[in-house]
Structure 1
């Protein structure tokens, strides 16, 4: 019998057993988010209602990409299972008995990184702990989530047994790494994508290939040869492209090819962002993630999203929305210009500034499409001069 895609909704801890049941029946679980607006819920259900996944599909996850348009990514069971031993090694602590290992999963199961950890748990990995489980949180020995979620947990101060944090989804700043490490938490950041799964890991010395993955940079794009790549998409396509055994989603990077090169050592990746998010302004191409990295170094800035605002004659003006750090005075354009004049070239300096709490996806990553929509609709504050 042909497998079906079964959309699940509900409380996170109840979903684990329901996911197990769907998998045992030979069907493909796709976890929804109860916070979806009605239109998004209807669109996802319409997409999967009559769908027949390809042979071998065992998991389905949602990714919004940089455009905000939901896509369903399909993958085999093996494409995740082959990485479980390496992930177990990253999360494990010899001082913690295997039976006591538990992983905090702040993002809902609709997030592919949380769904991965649920799949791992169903195959013998650490027991999942979800928000609201205070007893489980106090006993958790590891973490898997975004930098934003890790910061929130650290600020809450209830992680007495936490020994390892596996952090992905967006940029991890060095101050947050240092804060976690000062509490005895080993931090392993990683770069990946819903379509590619794990690509590279960083223990503090730079991004290097995840075990079993070959990484190459072609024309500025990251290409991987990996046993963890997804089958593809349900319905309309997305950024995943293949060339024989190699695949890419269009992420931009530089590869440090030798010991003489600057950086953390041979084989280290320096990510530059997504090619489809580049801003063309006058005669310059601006990669938002590069500007964001500099903005996060500005005192008083907790996080930032950079985007283009259409402008006749030059293509686009570089704009930025800043999330202020708690306790800092009001940010002004004058103070920003003073700090950034030595860090960014003229074309890369934002001309339009907004401030406020960044909207985030279910996994805790900044929701770029929503930031742009709110800024252009006048729903967020402009930074004063």
Structure 2
């Protein structure tokens, strides 16, 4: 049985059973939180205890997990209105209604997928979820739209694009111009966006740059983006969101110029090297433009002389074999000396359940391998 006003931690199941279980939880004013079947029993226990200890108020309707791309995932608590207020916007961006099917490759533990389920329960498109943990085109054969990460979108296009797909909403990490162009050449209208589990959707990009959504206020405080939005969550399970009152933040650095929002990486991820401040995401964006590079993660390793050295972990395109020498020389054409990686690693990047590069795990692997220079 599901208790009124308490978090119900659910194990994932097929899309129809999961929707019905979530519907039953909400019917008694319970708060659904979906776990991941890849979690260990110890981790299930940890999340269950955190959910039981959560500070709840009567207006809390949903609980979701952060991606954990920068560290341990946290439980995010939000009202029903914080999601439902954005459903008309999402429907317009996807050009989709109750008769449509949205491909959602991220597992149900992802806040993005739980959002899509919540939308479906209020007349949005029916979500098509993966039957396993790989992206198999047959799982999305009837999809008319897509909502997920660039990694999942690329995989779906490469492995067999659903024939009815006409619109894609892509968020979670950087969408490169080549992927957008390839999708548009297939007749798929692509909108990328900036958001987070805490903030929900904040800004959209149709190819001309990120623009903040009408009705959302933004400000820059000491370089960090703060948002006041009807779509924002209420709190974490055991702590308030970061920010100042209703102005909340996910910790992203940004600038706003001529109406365009430009993200500059995480405030807690900046690398201080030889008196220069290097924002990893800025270097990563330059590396993704290099031939043969699919994705990249940049981090800093401690150095007795420089304070830290810039390290690049590069994931090559399928079938490509770029050399470290070539990458060094190509990067030197677009990056200032202080921003050029001094150490290089070619590897497949670990990813979160939603398909984002798992920064914390990447760093941990680098340390475990000794951070050897290339």
What residue in structure 1 maps to residue 65 of structure 2?
62
- How many residues end up aligned between the 2 structures? 367
After superposition, residues 257-272 of structure 1 pair within 5 angstroms as: 257=258, 267-272=259-264
Gapped runs of 5+ residues in structure 1? Answer: 258-266
Cα distance in 2 for residues equivalent to 1:18 and 1:51? 21
What residue in structure 2 maps to residue 246 of structure 1?
247
Is the 2:70–2:358 Cα contact (8 Å) retained in structure 1?
no
Q: Aligned to 1:352, which of 343, 357, 362? A: 343
| CA-atom RMSD in angstroms | 1.9
* TM-score normalised per structure 1: 0.90
Gapped runs of 5+ residues in structure 2? Answer: none
Given the superposition, is the C-alpha separation of residues 141 and 193 from structure 1 closer, same or farther in structure 2, using an over 3 Å criterion? same
**1:218, CA displacement in angstroms?**
3.0
CA shift digits 1:301-344 (9 cap, x unpaired): 11000111112232211111111101112x32211121011211
Q: Does 1:303 align with 2:295?
A: yes
What residue in structure 2 maps to residue 221 of structure 1?
224
Is the 2:53–2:238 Cα contact (8 Å) retained in structure 1?
no
Is the 1:5–1:52 Cα contact (8 Å) retained in structure 2?
no
What residue in structure 2 maps to residue 324 of structure 1?
316
**1:178, CA displacement in angstroms?**
0.3
CA shift digits 1:268-297 (9 cap, x unpaired): 111111101111112011111000001101
Is the 1:355–1:383 Cα contact (8 Å) retained in structure 2?
no
What residue in structure 2 maps to residue 167 of structure 1?
170
Cα distance in 1 for residues equivalent to 2:46 and 2:109? 15
Given the superposition, is the C-alpha separation of residues 12 and 284 from structure 1 closer, same or farther in structure 2, using an over 3 Å criterion? farther
Given the superposition, is the C-alpha separation of residues 109 and 346 from structure 1 closer, same or farther in structure 2, using an over 3 Å criterion? same
Is the 1:354–1:375 Cα contact (8 Å) retained in structure 2?
no
Cα distance in 2 for residues equivalent to 1:15 and 1:49? 21
* TM-score normalised per structure 2: 0.93
Q: Secondary structure at the match of 1:100?
A: coil
Given the superposition, is the C-alpha separation of residues 158 and 173 from structure 1 closer, same or farther in structure 2, using an over 3 Å criterion? closer
What residue in structure 1 maps to residue 121 of structure 2?
122
Cα distance in 1 for residues equivalent to 2:346 and 2:47? 32
Cα distance in 2 for residues equivalent to 1:307 and 1:347? 13
Cα distance in 2 for residues equivalent to 1:308 and 1:131? 35
**1:135, CA displacement in angstroms?**
6.0
**1:245, CA displacement in angstroms?**
3.6
Q: Aligned to 2:182, which of 179, 182, 188? A: 179
What residue in structure 1 maps to residue 276 of structure 2?
284
Cα distance in 1 for residues equivalent to 2:46 and 2:308? 31
**1:215, CA displacement in angstroms?**
2.3
Cα distance in 2 for residues equivalent to 1:39 and 1:286? 37
Cα distance in 1 for residues equivalent to 2:14 and 2:298? 33
Is the 1:86–1:211 Cα contact (8 Å) retained in structure 2?
no
**1:43, CA displacement in angstroms?**
1.5
CA shift digits 1:131-188 (9 cap, x unpaired): 2486662221100000000001001123110010000000000000001000000000
Is the 1:103–1:143 Cα contact (8 Å) retained in structure 2?
yes
What residue in structure 2 maps to residue 342 of structure 1?
333
Q: Secondary structure at the match of 1:273?
A: strand
Is the 2:67–2:353 Cα contact (8 Å) retained in structure 1?
no
Q: Does 1:37 align with 2:29?
A: no
**1:372, CA displacement in angstroms?**
0.6
Cα distance in 1 for residues equivalent to 2:243 and 2:302? 32
Cα distance in 2 for residues equivalent to 1:323 and 1:341? 19
Q: Aligned to 1:274, which of 258, 266, 279? A: 266
After superposition, residues 187-202 of structure 1 pair within 5 angstroms as: 187-202=190-205
Q: Secondary structure at the match of 1:139?
A: coil
Cα distance in 2 for residues equivalent to 1:252 and 1:146? 21
**1:249, CA displacement in angstroms?**
2.0
